[in-house]
Chains A and B, each alone.
Chain A
Amino acid sequence: MNYSSSVKPVFCPGCGDFGVHAALLRALTELNIDKSSVAIVSGIGCSSSMPHLFSTYGMHSLHGRPLPVATGMRLANSKLTVIVTTGDGDAYGIGSAHLLHVARRNVDITMIVMNNQIYGLTTGQASPTSLIGAKTVSTPFGDIEEPINPLAVALSAGATYVARGFSGDPMHAAELIKNGILHKGFALIDMLSPCVTFNTLNTYDWFRKRVYKLGADHDPSNFGKAIEKAMEPEATGWEKIPIGLFYQTKRPTYEELDVTTKNGPLIETPMPSSGDVEKALEIYK
């Protein structure tokens, strides 16, 4: 099945998001899901133009709001495969509250965050994941805020699939995305995706020196180890950045627990008859 649209990417030459695009395309192709049952939802930012590159359903929504839109879609039709493609400003800044709540609800959404540690589309301001000292348009004297640790946040909020990829390794990233889609529940895949235009600190070279894949010795069912690995960049002064699957666990999804959606997709429940409405009114008589 061909998942591509006729729209051409508008990413800068060399942008990390090309790698993520390739990875998502590969994951969908390998899974061979009927594209009419796929919805790709994004927010605002460079990475959020992603849905337009696909010939599925989807929405390019508001800054920070793809998760609620995606949640609404899942609750309305649990037959849809819902994927959120978004950036660090969207996910960890303006929309950070939604991340916590979608994680604790365990809605079956796969969220891919193209994390470039900068606000690209607004021409280079600091993001919630910019490192301390990062000189940007909005932090000319160096960033003085501790960066958010998205993996640790997602883990503590109850996410059931937590991974990190690197757009410099699209094959590996595709595996993480594919397994995230197959995973029942909320999956966060933080995707290190360098901004070649505005982020002069966290470059491909910078990442290649630091990124390493979690080995077979890492047990993704061990929550404590997952937290430890999630904190490794901070613990090592950003010398070691693990990628791979940090954590995966089984927990019923929101859709499986809700008294209505557990019986099937909401869109398929019948319209109430006038008898049903009369029954609903009965207690007010």
Chain B
Amino acid sequence: MADIVIRIAASNGDGVESSGSLLSKIAARSGLNAYYSRGYQSVIRGGHVWSQVRISDAQIYSQGDGIDILVALNQDAIDNQSGQLNSGAFVIYDTSKANADVLKGKGYKLVGMPLIELAVENAGDPIARNVVSIGALLKILGLDIKVFEKILSEMFLRKGQAVVDNNVKAANAGYNFAGIEKAYELKGDGKARYIINGNTALAIGAYASGCKFYAAYPMTPASTIMNWFAANENRGVVFKQTEDEIAAINMTIGAATAGVRAMCGTSGGGFSLMVEGLGLAGMTETPIVVVESQRTGPSTGLPTKTEQGDMLFVMHASQGEFPRIVVAPRSVDEAFYVAADAFNLAERYQCPVIILMDLFLSESSRTVDSFDFSKVKVDRGKIATAAGSERFKRYEITPDGVSPRSIPGTQGLEFIAASDEHDEYGDLVSDVLAGLEVSVETRRKMHEKRMRKVDTMLKNENVFVPHVDTEGADYYLVCFGSTTGAALEAAERLRAAGKKVGVISFNYLMPMDKEKTKMLLAGKKLIDVECNYTGQLAYLLAANAGIDIEHKILRYDGEPITAAYITEKANEIMLKW
């Protein structure tokens, strides 16, 4: 078994991103598992950026930690990244842009390569130095260069055979560079995998469940959802780029009212603008899905860095009270299924569903063996289709709180939805009736009707409970969303070191089945793991399940939490406990 972390570092514009995505694609096609994440800045050219690809023949859940192979395309890369090198790491560096003198005599395997010269010599273009460096990496990793050659021929097909041949030559020049030897034994299972990021998996999951409308204003790290819908408009969906996020959520509400499965997406700043619209969906009982991909806040914060700081915000955003569902996918593949399920929940309970992502999950790619389409089932909830003899009660008071809705265009079932409090027909009780006995009673009944949907959700759905990994452990790491991958690996390492550690992870966070959650957590030694300062999940559990978690591992420096980070802190906590 081999498990290798490769980091390719340079300036923005040096093609680091395409190197990372190419390398992870080669791994995926070679029957291996890969996890591809990026470190980048809010600049378009220059600065310091990196791609990190972790490749293993075993199952992996996170981006990995430390660097086993560093590809340094400039001096900055040597200077900024060497602190993270694992012992005995390879450092491939471009001799025309960097020297590795500072790393000499420390046990690293230093490989200087004239990458630009090799690129020019073989492909006639310095841009091919990424291809040369990937060739060299493949040799060290012991991977078949033929897989790369095939990808190159697919990539450059449109540019002509000469370009394909040049790049294949460049790749082989790297692969055959004197002095590089195979250093790892990676055993692929021969089964090609998908390599896909969280946002794209989410977008395709939404598409699979019949989401036809997506509205958004560009905002990192949600923009790649927009990019997918824009590029795939010819698949029978509409993407609308809007003037602001206020328009995005209100268009989504309009489209959903008209009967189309609709979604909007943004990050925390844009979500702040969507808040009033969220309440409109709550009041008019319009089924919409809203994606909030968190980045480091407050305010503009670190636009290209990750955090889990918006959980309590999305749960309580908007004035007044109304049912909503908040779900934080724990992995790339889960984002696909969660997105597909979100529309069923939204339409079954006629309320907004918020999918809480974060930059790390949105933008990191992971290999996925397969997607099970049989799990994507469409349930559009209660829809009235035939008019009765009486006027249609769009907001009929029902035992489960859900009233049949009608789709505009259906004769005899017309109604006016209102953001004001209204009666069963949708007529206002907010103006000339406000304060009169009839209005007071209607308000109480309508509010109870809407809120009753929460009880119905908890009764009918089995998703609102945490997932327990490793029964009977002495300690449990408690986490939600994207932090789960690193927590699972940390627990695995701790178990390997003789400590019985499990993981309790949450994806569906709101509503919470308080009794079941309490039962699962009570009496256990719990360590809260989150990417924020205040421990928002711990706060939620204290409020909902009466579980007070004293020990916390929190990270809020913008970098995603790693298994090593959790392992180290958990050891410190357990030592004293």
Contacts and interface: CB of A to CB of B under 8 A. Distances in A.
Given A35-B414, A77-B408, A281-B194, A70 B254 contact: yes
Interface string B558-569: 000000000000
Interface string A35-46: 111011100100
B417 A58 contact: yes
Interface in A269-285: 269-272, 274, 276-278, 280-281, 284-285
Contact of A65 (B210, B250, B373): B250
B128 interface: no
Contacts of B195: 284-285
Interface string B222-249: 0000000000111111101011101110
Contact of B414 (A36, A49, A72, A258): A36
A76 B204 contact: no
B204 A72 contact: no
Given A57-B408, A68-B246, A80-B409, A272 B277 contact: no
Given A76-B258, A267-B260, A284-B194, A49 B431 contact: yes
A72 B277 contact: no
B237 A260 contact: yes
Residue from A49, A52, A75 with most neighbouring chain B CB atoms (10 Å): A75
Contacts of B196: 281, 284
Contact of A72 (B28, B258, B378): B258
Interface in B239-284: 240, 242-244, 246-248, 250-260, 262, 276-277, 280, 284
Q: Main SS of the interface on chain B?
A: mixed
Contact of B212 (A37, A79, A266, A284): A266
A266 B414 contact: no
A60 B416 contact: yes
Contacts of B427: 7, 52
Interface residues of B, number: 68
B412 interface: yes
B193 interface: yes
Residue from A35, A60, A274 with most neighbouring chain B CB atoms (10 Å): A60
B118 to A, nearest CB: 29
B143 interface: no
A258 B230 CA distance: 11
B259 A60 contact: no
Contact of B251 (A40, A59, A69): A69
Contacts of B210: 271-272
A68 B242 contact: yes
A59 B256 CA distance: 12
B213 A75 contact: yes
A100 B195 CA distance: 41
Nearest to A53: B416
Interface in B350-379: 371, 373, 376, 378
Contact of B213 (A76, A259, A278, A280): A76
Contacts of B431: 10, 49
B113 to A, nearest CB: 30
B133 to A, nearest CB: 23
A142 to B, nearest CB: 31
B74 interface: no
A72 B250 contact: yes
A280 B207 contact: yes
B29 interface: yes
B234 to A, nearest CB: 6
Residue from B204, B243, B262, B280 with most neighbouring chain A CB atoms (10 Å): B243
A261 B238 contact: yes
B434 to A, nearest CB: 11
Nearest to A71: B251
Given A37-B409, A73-B408, A269-B212, A280 B232 contact: yes
B284 A59 contact: yes
B428 interface: yes
Interface residues of A, number: 60
Contacts of A54: 416
A222 to B, nearest CB: 29
A274 B251 contact: no
A105 to B, nearest CB: 9
Contact of A69 (B192, B212, B253, B260): B253
A72 B254 contact: yes
A260 B234 contact: yes
Nearest to B193: A285
Nearest to B288: A72
A62 interface: yes
Contacts of B260: 76-77, 266-267
B410 interface: yes
A277 B414 contact: no
B240 A285 contact: no
Contact of B215 (A59, A72, A97, A276): A72
Nearest to B253: A69
Given A76-B260, A285-B28, A62 B373 contact: no
A61 B233 CA distance: 28
B251 A68 contact: yes
A65 B416 contact: no
B456 to A, nearest CB: 25
Nearest to A57: B408
Contact of B280 (A61, A76, A261, A272): A61
A283 to B, nearest CB: 10
B235 A272 contact: yes
Interface in B415-438: 415-420, 427-428, 431-432
B258 A77 contact: yes
Contacts of A277: 204, 207-208, 371, 373, 376
Contact of B259 (A35, A59, A77, A258): A77
Contacts of B391: 6
Nearest to A44: B419
B38 to A, nearest CB: 17
Interface in B154-198: 192-196
B200 interface: yes
A153 to B, nearest CB: 15
Contacts of B407: 267
B325 to A, nearest CB: 21
A104 to B, nearest CB: 10
A285 B250 contact: no
A40 B280 CA distance: 16
A67 to B, nearest CB: 8
17 contacts: A7-B428, A36-B408, A36-B409, A36-B413, A37-B409, A49-B431, A68-B251, A69-B254, A73-B254, A76-B212, A77-B260, A79-B409, A98-B243, A261-B238, A269-B212, A272-B207, A277-B371
Given A36-B413, A49-B431, 15 more contacts: A36-B412, A36-B414, A52-B428, A55-B414, A57-B414, A58-B416, A69-B251, A72-B254, A75-B213, A75-B254, A75-B255, A76-B213, A267-B407, A284-B194, A285-B194
Q: Please name the 3 residue pairs, one residue from A and one from B, whose CB atoms are nearest each other, closest first.
A: A72-B254, A68-B250, A76-B258
Interface of B: 28-29, 192-196, 200, 204, 207-208, 210, 212-213, 215, 232-238, 240, 242-244, 246-248, 250-260, 262, 276-277, 280, 284, 371, 373, 376, 378, 391, 407-420, 427-428, 431-432
